[in-house]
Amino acid sequence: MKNNIQLFNRIILVEIAKLKGTFAFWLTVLYPSGTVLLVTLFWISMRNQKSANTGMFIDNLGNVASFFLPFFIVLMISVACNIEHKSSLLKHLLVLPVPRPVFYIGKFAGIMVFIFLAFLLTLIFAYASLFFCGLASPKLGFGADFNHLLLFKVITRAYFAASAIYTIQYWFGMKFRNLTLPVAIGSALIILPIAIMIILGITGLITKSDDFTKIISYNPYSYPYSTAFNMIKNKEVIIFSNLSLLFIALSAAVLISGAWQFNKRNIV
């Protein structure tokens, strides 16, 4: 057991070492910076608005971050998994004395380090943006009454809401040998609920806003931005809602079953 824990730690370190400088790494920087930049540009264009406050900035950031987060996760995890596939590296790694489930979960943990880095960068860039917007236009009032807890909760909620996407997308990424298929499946799972929502809305089959959010809430891939819709409606930030907890449990189940299946798999 102790040996497996040491191996697990070494697999995480290896994953970090090999992802450095790859497209997956740059995505980890690009997603938080792009998200914050979008919100920053919006507020710079609104610099003469007198009724603004940091809470509005955080709300905007939370919504934009929640919308783009599933796309970032799908692409980042698929690219990270494809590094092994494109050079047939699984054959090399799995002839090393490492139990396959340890490798599977260790690699996932290594990827999660980069997801956590994206989370930290989102917070850091948000503070930097607020400071910059405050300097650019004191009228916005971003210098006063800063709600640190709200910023933390909004960003944390988005990343926890995506918990099921991490393991499901990882499973797709490890299963399919090319990059296109996992990215296509992941993107379809993100976009499809919105498309259905739009079609049902246009045709008049759905008219209530509650029904709109229900469509996207029960799909793990669209749940992160459904939490943003809920926040617009309720003005309340709940990190661990019932659905969030359900998706965390689903995530754990997918990871364990993925490791079990990986252990049985033939590597050709």
Partner 1 sequence: MTDLNLKVPAGSIFGFLGPNGAGKSTTIKTLLGLLKTESGKIHIFGKELNANKMYILERIGAMVESPSLYDHLNARHNLEITARIRNINFNKIGSLLETVSLTRDAHRPVKQYSTGMKQRLSLAIALLADPELLILDEPINGLDPNGIMEMRQLLININAAKKCTILLSSHILSEIEKLCSDVAIISAGTLVFQGDMQTLLSSTSGKEIITIQVNNAEKAIKSLDGKFITSAKDNNLIVTVDNKKQAAIIIRQLVEDGIDIYSTERESTGLEASFLHLLNGKQQL
| CB of 207 or CB of 266, closer to partner 1 | 266
The DSSP code for 29 is: H
In angstroms, what is the minimal distance from the CB of 92 to partner 1?
4
The secondary structure of 167-220 as a DSSP string is: HHHHHHHHH-SSSHHHHHHHHHHHHHHHHHHHHHHHHTS--SHHHHHHHHHTST
| CB of 50 or CB of 264, closer to partner 1 | 264
In angstroms, what is the minimal distance from the CB of 262 to partner 1?
12
In angstroms, what is the minimal distance from the CB of 253 to partner 1?
24
Instruction: Confirm if 218 and 161 have CB atoms less than 8 A apart.
Output: no
C-alpha 240/C-alpha 157 separation (Å) is 7
Q: How many helices (H) and strands (E) does the chain have?
A: 11, 0
First to last CA, the chain: 29
In angstroms, what is the minimal distance from the CB of 14 to partner 1?
5
In angstroms, what is the minimal distance from the CB of 103 to partner 1?
9
| CB of 14 or CB of 136, closer to partner 1 | 14
C-alpha 147/C-alpha 61 separation (Å) is 13
| CB of 87 or CB of 178, closer to partner 1 | 87
| CB of 86 or CB of 233, closer to partner 1 | 86
| CB of 234 or CB of 266, closer to partner 1 | 266
The secondary structure of 41-86 as a DSSP string is: HHHHHTTT-SS--HHHHHHHHHHHHHHHHHHHHHHHHHHHHHHHHH
Contacting positions for partner 1 (CB under 8 A): 6-7, 10-11, 13-14, 17-18, 21-22, 83, 87-89, 91-99, 264, 266-268
In angstroms, what is the minimal distance from the CB of 255 to partner 1?
21
HSE-CB for 249 with a 13 A CA cutoff: 7
